[in-house]
Amino acid sequence: MKVKKISIFIISFACLAAYLAFALIVSINIKDKLLLGNLPVSIVYRGSCSTAQFDSHMMALKEAQYFFVFADQYSKSNKKSIIITFDCMREHIYTDIFPILKKHGIKATVFIQPDRIGMNGQLTLRQIKDMQKSGLIMFGVGASFDKLQQQNSRQILKEEKQAVENITRSACRIFALTDSFNESSFQLKRYKKKALRQAEKETRGIYGYIYMTDRSNSLNRFIPRLIVNNGCTSDMLLSDIADFIQ
């Protein structure tokens, strides 16, 4: 009888230990999820986009309960966050896009080339400062692979960073490689690899956040962006975002 009681006690203790171990694992997993959260998804408008199309996109994202953050806020959060970016600096950003962002109270990031400010059809200094003052627009530096191949490209990047900081009176820590690498040809893959390595080298120590236009598994410093093409409907955008983050 005594042996039987001991056996029952051992079995009960083992079951209790297994239950506590399981509960601990579950609690750790939950804690990890709460601490790690989710990274924001970043999308980029590179070309023309009608006001009606952009307005419908912003309404759809708000209805889907996305939380809008700037490009220098790329970190894990418990919120479902999204980063809206633009690689072009045409005046329509100010005349067409900016009013929609103000209408919905949405933050966005525009990557510019300081040496093109005020050129024909490009954003002017006054327009950039006006958007900056709204608190809804952040500005970063954008450049193509061709610029990064120039002999003094690193000095150029430093000067452009300083130029943006002088205009906006705030720190500029974000850079975008504006080339598109969506095709899958062998030549483009080689070009992409070379471009990314050059960008990683030239921006090191200057910019903290480096954005590109697709995914890269080889360089962790690069943040992928989903390209929003002209003609993309709101439903298509939400579907593309869901596929992009998987």
Give the C-alpha separation, 40 to 72, whole Å: 11
Confidence grade of residue 151 (pLDDT, cut at 50, 70, 90): confident
Over residues 60-77, the mean pLDDT reads 94
- Residues of the chain with pLDDT > 90, as a percent, come to 53
Taking all residues of the chain, what is their mean pLDDT, rounded to a whole number? Answer: 82
Backbone dihedral region for residue 237 (phi beyond 0: left; psi -120 to 50: alpha; all else: beta): alpha
Domain of 235, CATH number, reads: 3.20.20.370
Identify whether residues 116 and 228 lie together within a single domain. yes
Could you tell me which residue, 18 or 90, shows the higher pLDDT?
Answer: 90
Query: 3-state secondary structure string, the chain?
Result: CHHHHHHHHHHHHHHHHHHHHHHHHHHHHHHHHHHHCECCEEEEECCCCCHHHHHHHHHHHHHCCCEECCHHHCCCECCCEEEEEECCCECHHHHHHHHHHHHHCCCEEEEECHHHCCCCCECCHHHHHHHHHCCCEEEEEEECHHHHCCCCHHHHHHHHHHHHHHHHCCCCCEEEECCCCCCCCHHHHHHHHHHHHHHHHHHCCCCCEEECCCCCCCCCCEECCEECCCCCCHHHHHHHHHHHCC
Could you tell me which residue, 151 or 80, shows the higher pLDDT?
Answer: 80
Identify whether residues 85 and 153 lie together within a single domain. yes
Identify whether residues 151 and 217 lie together within a single domain. yes
Confidence grade of residue 88 (pLDDT, cut at 50, 70, 90): confident
> Taking Cα atoms as reference points, which of 136, 157, 145, 162 lies closest to residue 212?
145
Over residues 139-166, the mean pLDDT reads 91
Q: What's the Cα-to-Cα distance from 231 to each of 47, 75, 215, 236, rounded to whole Å?
A: 11, 30, 22, 10
Identify whether residues 49 and 83 lie together within a single domain. yes
This model's pTM is above 0.85: no
Identify whether residues 60 and 97 lie together within a single domain. yes
pLDDT digit string (tens) for 203-236? 989 999 999 876 655 455 688 899 998 889 999 9
Identify whether residues 53 and 88 lie together within a single domain. yes
pLDDT at 173 over 80: yes
Identify whether residues 5 and 86 lie together within a single domain. no
Could you tell me which residue, 12 or 142, shows the higher pLDDT?
Answer: 142
Confidence grade of residue 124 (pLDDT, cut at 50, 70, 90): very high
pLDDT digit string (tens) for 178-207? 876 655 555 566 777 778 788 888 898 999
Over residues 129-134, the mean pLDDT reads 96
Identify whether residues 50 and 26 lie together within a single domain. no
Identify whether residues 60 and 29 lie together within a single domain. no
Identify whether residues 194 and 104 lie together within a single domain. yes
- Residues of the chain with pLDDT > 70, as a percent, come to 77
Environment class of 164 (CB within 10 Å of its CB; exposed 0-12, middle 13-18, buried 19+): buried
Identify whether residues 62 and 24 lie together within a single domain. no
Pairing label, strands 108-112, 137-143: parallel
pLDDT at residue number 77: 85
pLDDT at residue number 207: 93
pLDDT at residue number 138: 97
> Which structural domain range is residue 64 located in?
40-244
Confidence grade of residue 54 (pLDDT, cut at 50, 70, 90): very high
Domain count, the chain: 2
Identify whether residues 47 and 97 lie together within a single domain. yes
